[in-house]
Structure 1
Amino acid sequence: MASVKTGVVAAATLLTVALAGCTSGGNSSSSSTEGGTVELTMLTFETPNLPATLWDSAIARVEQKVPGVKIKKLVAPNVDRTTYAKQLATSSQLPDVMMAVNPQGFAEGGQLAEFTKDDLKDFASPESGAINGKIYQLPTNAQPQSLLYYNKANFTKAGITTPPKTWAEFLDACAKLKAAGITPIAVGGGGQDTFASMYTWVGTVGTDVYVGDPAFSREIKDGSKTFADPLFAKATDKVAQLAKLGYFDKQGTSRSYADHEKAFRAGSAAMYPMGSWFATSADNDKPPFEVGVFAWPTDDGKAVVPTLTGGGLSVSAKAENVDLAKKFALEWTKDKETSDAFTKADGTFNTIAGYQPPADMGPLFKETLALYNQAVQDKTVTPALSIEQGDNGLPADLTVPIQQIAVELLTGTSDAQAAIAKLDKEYAAVK
């Protein structure tokens, strides 16, 4: 994913990394019903922030704006909707409309419909996520992926007066928390929710690799660099260092994503590396302590914010009526009531030019937004490891292996050297 342009600051902000995909296009999923209505399948995913009722109401509302379309909702079994969409595609059931499914592989294989310049005329960042110069996923959102939400009471108890900005200050804060009997950092990644293991590594790679080399993943792809690159090795060793020092909640990697959040809310650790969607979760359902947020610490103290820009709807090239499917996707994106509902529920921010989030958003959302906007101004928004976008993205098939390697780093069963060797091997197998 390329860094977000400064001009997006007024229009682009937050999003949830966990949206969806759907089932089948073409001969098996779309069908014409009596009266000329076309039924299209749309795969959603559900989280504590995004229940079925939210998806159902949005679908019903947008259906009314697209006469002739009836949506059949499908729910992904977990948040890894890209892998699920691939499984469906192998049996000719690629979803007609897919939300936040990584288009790599699908696009090159001719399975997705291209969005034209006219389709994208109202988007603030219309070229984000391009694959060979073409857009196959609406560049709907920008979403910080690895910020540090923290328990202010824990910091006060440990004698930490201000959030750390440098890596040295961060290590000092972790040491003070541990000395006070408080686990410094919550981690996740249990069961099928291995994505939750990534946020520490996303943070260190953003600060140590992508801020200076936003094209790093392209250099991996063209063979000019490997994951043994000194900067990537340094970022990986930071994660291993935190594990070795005992700063992670070791039970966390056995927890599902939902239980991971519940544990932090219950006081499992002082800091919670997570995407911006947690801001609205905490604003909507306040934990029993005050929560603050700060950017991942850097060596020089300058705030860096790894961010996903994109994550919108894609359309199957084999949908029975591609034009209607694209119209539904565009209307979903442009419908302010839908955008506001997802912003309030999950911290999403629509990047249609001129969109503003609801004025009554909570304080943690506004703090998160301020961090992102400052990073845009400072040009320190970076790609997010494993979910880079478009031509700048690592292969989608690497997503699950890299998450599993992240779990090994968090648990201390792998060090930086072993993790990098395994990652290079996994990359060779999928490229």
Structure 2
Amino acid sequence: MRHNRLLPAACLAAGLALITGCSAAQPAGSNGSSGSVSLTYLTFETPSLTASFWDTSIANAEKKVPGVTVKKIVAPSTDRDAYAKQLQASGQFPDLLQSITPSTFVQAGLLRPYDQGWVNANFLLPMGNAFKGKVYIPPTNSQIIPMVFYNKTLFVRAGVTTVPKTWADFMAVCAKLKVAGITPVELGGGDPFAASMPLVGILSADVLGKDPNWLQERYAGKVHFTDANVETAVAKYRTMAQDGYFEDGALGVKYADSITNFTSGKTAMYMMGSWFLGSVPKAAAADFGSFMTPTDDGSLVVPFAVGGSMAINAHTAAPDKATAFAEAWSLDPANYKALIEGDGAFPMLKGKTLADYDVNVTQVFEDSYAYVLNQNTKVSAFGWATNDDSMPSGLDDDFYAAGQDLYNSNDIAAQMAKLDSAWDTATK
């Protein structure tokens, strides 16, 4: 699911003004009913995860936990982390928080871990989003960030008969498409996170594919963005830009427009998170396929991010009730339908097939989901992890911005030095 990390202060202030109070600061049973509690729950809304979705999912979980009433708080943008920080600063940190980044709050002692036995019993990758050995959001779903989606019709028109396995193959395909008058790769560079997608794919494949512990080693000061192997990987993105493999004026194309450009056949490939699968037009789904960012030697590297449902406030006045509600919500297959169909989320519940979620998905979704289920080299998606490989708070934004800066800048060393400096500042 896309994370828009820009949250204007005016919106935050307006949102805070609408909240009358959070139960974390109230005693259990404060609604006047013996044994009953009122919990606050931070959510967010998107075109696929609508107000109706949240209301229905909350109501269903409430039925499974007698005595619990849940008050929904809607973040004014999809940046839950920033909004949760604002709520915490004003003494209104919610009892439950949907899809936040645990590392941002665990180190401040704000989150309560789940029982590991319950996690192990219910999820395919129990430790997929664990932080410092504990699970703070159930690993309910996953994304591959990015995949390389492609238009089969445009490939055929350009005489491309096979998907590229190596980086040299990929560059040859881009060149062939360009010669045929077809824009090789959609970028959507008007939004920093979208502009960085080629970087995410390349660094995940070339750097983490060879050293899966690189991000943790960066915390230890053993490696740096200015290292030769990192700069060599980043140079691939510069080559794509220099050789004209993105659309003209790519930095002026917004994320929403990039989806339309690709699905309407204006471009041949699109490096984007697997949430794009929710935007594949079903009427033309047979025209689309996917593959991983190619590596130099053709080895398969899957940049993986395990997402989850809700975190629990470590200081909630009703920890047992909050945990029971969170567990009930996280195990309800009905909640996954919108996530799978609308956001392209890959479900991670044990003992379930896609049929158990009553979903209608495309063949390209099923083919892409196979990368999750199959044995292969999975690494954390660079800049998108929520586990021990997550970047320091704020570094994701710097990394995404580098995608825009590098589109026009040949000074790779300077851009990487900026990231090293920002990292060092953030971890002091």
TM norm structure 1: 0.86
Q: Which residue of 1 aligns with 2:186?
A: 186
Match of 1:208 among 206, 209, 216: 206
Match of 1:427 among 411, 423, 428: 423
Question: Map of 1:254-293 to 2, 5 A cutoff?
Answer: 254-282=252-280, 285-287=282-284, 290-293=287-290
CA distance in 2: counterparts of 1:281 and 1:309, whole angstroms: 20
- Higher mean alpha-carbon deviation, 30-39 vs 42-51, is at 30-39
Question: Does the aligned pair in 2 maintain the 1:158–1:180 contact within 8 Å?
Answer: yes
Question: Map of 1:63-74 to 2, 5 A cutoff?
Answer: 63-74=62-73
CA distance in 1: counterparts of 2:25 and 2:410, whole angstroms: 46
Say if 2:143 is the partner of 1:169: no
Q: Which residue of 2 aligns with 1:241?
A: 239
Question: Does the aligned pair in 1 maintain the 2:24–2:315 contact within 8 Å?
Answer: yes
- Higher mean alpha-carbon deviation, 217-226 vs 333-342, is at 333-342
Over 3 Å counting, the alpha-carbon distance change for 1:81 and 1:361 in structure 2 is: same
CA distance in 1: counterparts of 2:228 and 2:285, whole angstroms: 42
Question: Does the aligned pair in 1 maintain the 2:48–2:338 contact within 8 Å?
Answer: no
Q: Which protein, 1 or 2, shows the higher relative CO under an 8 Å CA cutoff with sep ≥ 6?
A: 1
Say if 2:197 is the partner of 1:195: no
Q: Which residue of 2 aligns with 1:294?
A: 291
Question: Does the aligned pair in 1 maintain the 2:285–2:362 contact within 8 Å?
Answer: no
CA distance in 2: counterparts of 1:195 and 1:19, whole angstroms: 8
Question: Does the aligned pair in 2 maintain the 1:97–1:315 contact within 8 Å?
Answer: yes
Over 3 Å counting, the alpha-carbon distance change for 1:115 and 1:17 in structure 2 is: farther
Q: CA deviation at 1:214?
A: 0.8
Question: Does the aligned pair in 2 maintain the 1:19–1:44 contact within 8 Å?
Answer: no
Amino acid aligned to 1:103: P
Amino acid aligned to 1:212: K
* Unmatched runs of 5 consecutive residues or more in structure 1: 1-15
CA distance in 2: counterparts of 1:287 and 1:189, whole angstroms: 25
Q: Which residue of 2 aligns with 1:118?
A: 117
Over 3 Å counting, the alpha-carbon distance change for 1:428 and 1:31 in structure 2 is: farther
Q: CA deviation at 1:219?
A: 0.6
Q: Which residue of 1 aligns with 2:372?
A: 372
Question: Does the aligned pair in 2 maintain the 1:17–1:308 contact within 8 Å?
Answer: no
Q: Which residue of 1 aligns with 2:51?
A: 52
Amino acid aligned to 2:80: R
Over 3 Å counting, the alpha-carbon distance change for 1:215 and 1:398 in structure 2 is: same
Q: Which residue of 2 aligns with 1:226?
A: 224
Secondary structure of the 2:186 match is coil
Over 3 Å counting, the alpha-carbon distance change for 1:221 and 1:25 in structure 2 is: farther
Match of 1:340 among 316, 337, 343: 337
CA distance in 2: counterparts of 1:228 and 1:63, whole angstroms: 51
CA distance in 2: counterparts of 1:162 and 1:388, whole angstroms: 31
CA distance in 1: counterparts of 2:261 and 2:212, whole angstroms: 34
Say if 2:156 is the partner of 1:160: no
- Higher mean alpha-carbon deviation, 262-271 vs 323-332, is at 262-271
Q: Which residue of 1 aligns with 2:404?
A: 407
* Unmatched runs of 5 consecutive residues or more in structure 2: 6-14
Amino acid aligned to 2:186: A
CA distance in 1: counterparts of 2:211 and 2:426, whole angstroms: 23
Question: Does the aligned pair in 2 maintain the 1:88–1:95 contact within 8 Å?
Answer: yes
Q: Which residue of 2 aligns with 1:356?
A: 353
Over 3 Å counting, the alpha-carbon distance change for 1:329 and 1:245 in structure 2 is: same
Q: Which residue of 2 aligns with 1:105?
A: 104
Question: Does the aligned pair in 2 maintain the 1:185–1:248 contact within 8 Å?
Answer: yes
Q: Which residue of 2 aligns with 1:5?
A: none
CA distance in 2: counterparts of 1:383 and 1:85, whole angstroms: 24
Q: CA deviation at 1:29?
A: 12
Over 3 Å counting, the alpha-carbon distance change for 1:252 and 1:81 in structure 2 is: farther
Say if 2:95 is the partner of 1:90: no
Question: Does the aligned pair in 2 maintain the 1:29–1:95 contact within 8 Å?
Answer: no
Q: Which residue of 2 aligns with 1:8?
A: none
TM norm structure 2: 0.87
CA deviations on 1:317-350 (whole Å, 9 max, x unpaired) are 1223222222111111111221234223322233
Secondary structure of the 1:143 match is strand
CA distance in 1: counterparts of 2:28 and 2:86, whole angstroms: 18
CA deviations on 1:326-380 (whole Å, 9 max, x unpaired) are 2111111111221234223322233232122227532111111123334xx13x1
Question: Does the aligned pair in 1 maintain the 2:26–2:317 contact within 8 Å?
Answer: no
Q: CA deviation at 1:290?
A: 1.4
CA deviations on 1:113-166 (whole Å, 9 max, x unpaired) are 121223324233223333332222222222211101111122122111111111
Question: Does the aligned pair in 2 maintain the 1:160–1:173 contact within 8 Å?
Answer: yes
Amino acid aligned to 2:43: T
CA distance in 2: counterparts of 1:329 and 1:51, whole angstroms: 19
Question: Does the aligned pair in 2 maintain the 1:19–1:45 contact within 8 Å?
Answer: no
CA distance in 2: counterparts of 1:263 and 1:48, whole angstroms: 19
Question: Does the aligned pair in 1 maintain the 2:259–2:279 contact within 8 Å?
Answer: no
Q: CA deviation at 1:107?
A: 0.5
Question: Does the aligned pair in 2 maintain the 1:185–1:273 contact within 8 Å?
Answer: yes
- Higher mean alpha-carbon deviation, 171-180 vs 213-222, is at 171-180
Over 3 Å counting, the alpha-carbon distance change for 1:216 and 1:30 in structure 2 is: farther
Identity %: 37
Q: CA deviation at 1:48?
A: 3.6
Q: Which residue of 2 aligns with 1:394?
A: 391
CA distance in 1: counterparts of 2:212 and 2:243, whole angstroms: 30
Over 3 Å counting, the alpha-carbon distance change for 1:148 and 1:17 in structure 2 is: same
Question: Does the aligned pair in 2 maintain the 1:265–1:288 contact within 8 Å?
Answer: no
Question: Does the aligned pair in 2 maintain the 1:49–1:281 contact within 8 Å?
Answer: no
CA distance in 2: counterparts of 1:166 and 1:344, whole angstroms: 31
- Higher mean alpha-carbon deviation, 233-242 vs 125-134, is at 125-134
Question: Does the aligned pair in 1 maintain the 2:150–2:269 contact within 8 Å?
Answer: yes
